[in-house]
Amino acid sequence: MTISRKPAVDSNIKIVLYKILLAGILCAIIFLIVGLILLSSTPGVDITEELSLEALIEEISSMSPKGILGIGILLIIATPLIRILTTTIVFLKERDRFLVIISLIVMGIITLGFIQGSM
Amino acid sequence: MLLISVAIGIIGSILGIGGGIFLVPILTLILDIDIRIAAATSLVAIIVMSSTSSSSYLHEGLVNVKLGMFLETFTTAGAVIGAVFVVILEPSTIEIVLGVTLVYTAIYMQLKKEENIIHKGEGPLSAFRSRFRSRFRDPAANKVVEYDVENIGKGAAGSFIAGNLSGLVGIGGGIIKVPAMNIWMGVPIKAATATSNFMLGVTAVASAIVYISNGFIAPALTAVVAIGIFLGASIGSRTLPRISAGRVRTAFAAILVVIGILMFMKAAGLVVS
């Protein structure tokens, strides 16, 4: 493994991640803006109204304004997850075993936190 | 609320902090909503902040991706393992200790100049350390800054504590991670705030999933705040490269003092959040 190759690979991954994060967040914001515009045309809206997960899924499947907002929010959450997945794949290709293990640990911890929290 | 979110987005993206410490009290005070809804909204906002600003910082080359991923492991581990310190200390004691630490760090950051912190290792580095070497162009100083990361173990421990405290006293990791990277690890301040921003999203995502699956999400409110943060972070992340490192450090020290005082007030029971 030569050190001189490192910066090139590093800037490569930066460009890939830049594109992923930008695309993810832009899509999410578009959904949120469209959802808000549609929602504001319906009378009697309380913006602090909360939704259970079941209700949210129902709204999404019916593509209601709240459902469109729901898709936007899910896209926001998905973006960092896709980011971790991508870095793992890049480091796997780069054969940097240390960073692959690091990425896998982070994914494991998030899953663990999710399981722990949903119990 | 949109304007407040834009302001928090600008500050957070420049300083590498999530802004939850400001957003949660504002949401609960102004809109009088459940703290869990406020927390969920704030977590989604932090992810938006992280994705928006770090995409820009990645483009500028400011993010040290490998260092970020390495420290991320310790922050998330610290967050999931949960309140280790609560067993040993009362929350109010932790708040006082943290308050003192933050104010001390602010003074230290002002006394020690950026140039004396950053080092580029001479001679051969170990394979482990050479992995974290990074460089970026600083338009404000009109030069390329190259640096080696030092005290990696100490930084990892700091990140673990940052993650661990985040759930406990209601602060995100940024306020601890940025000075830890800057002062201990010799990471230039701009790279430190950019790398902190890059990490924030991943730390917040695990908790955000939990809140949403438990039904603590107000979609319309979250959307308004998210759009505000997106706008703010877009402005902030375009501003950071053009500000001098000294100014960023002064601004960061100021926010450390503000949050330090907030910690003292919380310990005294003057602020509830």
Question: In what helix (H) or strand (E) does residue B144 lie, and over which residues does it extend?
Answer: strand B143-147
> CB neighbours of B14 closer than 8 A, spacing ≥ 6?
B193, B236, B237, B239, B240, B243, B248, B251
- Nearest CA to A29 out of B215, B12, B52, B212 is that of B52
Q: What is the CA radius of gyration of chain A?
A: 19
Q: What is the pLDDT of residue B86?
A: 59
Q: What is the pLDDT of residue B271?
A: 67
Higher per-residue confidence, A75 vs A102 = A75
- pLDDT category of residue A27 using cuts at 50, 70 and 90: very high
Q: What is the pLDDT of residue B31?
A: 83
Q: pLDDT digit of tens for each residue in chain B (273 aa)? A: 889 999 999 999 999 888 888 888 888 888 888 888 888 899 899 999 999 999 999 999 999 999 999 998 998 888 777 655 656 677 788 888 888 988 988 998 888 888 777 877 666 677 778 888 888 999 888 889 989 998 999 999 988 888 877 766 666 678 889 999 999 999 999 999 999 999 988 888 877 887 888 888 899 999 999 999 999 999 999 999 999 999 999 999 999 999 899 888 888 877 665
User: Within a domain: residue A6?
Assistant: no
> CB neighbours of B249 closer than 8 A, spacing ≥ 6?
B109, B110, B114, B182, B189
Residue A70 has pLDDT above 80, yes or no: yes
Q: What is the pLDDT of residue B192?
A: 95
Q: What share of chain B is helix, strand, coil (3-state, %, to 5)?
A: 75, 5, 20
Token output for B171: 């602060």
* Residues in chain A closer than 8 A to B214 (CB atoms): 53, 117-118
- Give the whole-angstrom CA distance, residue B21 versus residue A27: 27
Residue A8 has pLDDT above 70, yes or no: no
- Give the whole-angstrom CA distance, residue A105 versus residue A100: 9
Token output for B84: 């280790």
User: Within a domain: residue A61?
Assistant: yes
Q: Domain total for chain A?
A: 1
DSSP state of A5: T
* Residues in chain A closer than 8 A to B226 (CB atoms): 28-29, 32, 72-73, 76
- Give the whole-angstrom CA distance, residue B251 versus residue A24: 30
The pTM for the full model equals 0.89
Q: What is the pLDDT of residue A116?
A: 67
User: Within a domain: residue A26?
Assistant: yes
A93-109: average pLDDT: 87
Tell me, yes or no, if B47 comes closer than 8 A to chain A by beta carbon: yes
Domain of residue A56: give its range: 14-41+49-118
Higher per-residue confidence, B161 vs A118 = B161
Please, which residues bridge with residue B137 across strands?
B144
**Across the interface, which of A3, A69, A102 has its CB nearest the CB of B69?**
A102
Which of A2, A39, A48 is the best substitution to test chain B (most B C-beta atoms within 10 A)? A48
Tell me, yes or no, if A27 comes closer than 8 A to chain B by beta carbon: no
User: Within a domain: residue A5?
Assistant: no
* Nearest chain B residue (CA) to A3: B130
Q: Is B209's CB within 8 Å of A17's CB?
A: no
Residue B270: strand, helix, or coil = coil
A11-38: average pLDDT: 92
Q: What is the ipTM of this complex?
A: 0.87
- pLDDT category of residue A69 using cuts at 50, 70 and 90: very high
Q: What is the pLDDT of residue B44?
A: 93
Chain B segment 134-163 residues within 8 A of A by beta carbon are: 134-135
**Nearest-5° angle of CA B222, CA B226, CA B228?**
120
* Residues in chain B closer than 8 A to A22 (CB atoms): 55
Tell me, yes or no, if A90 comes closer than 8 A to chain B by beta carbon: no
- pLDDT category of residue A53 using cuts at 50, 70 and 90: confident
Residue A52 has pLDDT above 90, yes or no: no
User: Within a domain: residue A9?
Assistant: no
User: Within a domain: residue A18?
Assistant: yes
Chain A segment 70-89 residues within 8 A of B by beta carbon are: 70, 72-73, 76-77, 79-81, 83-84, 87
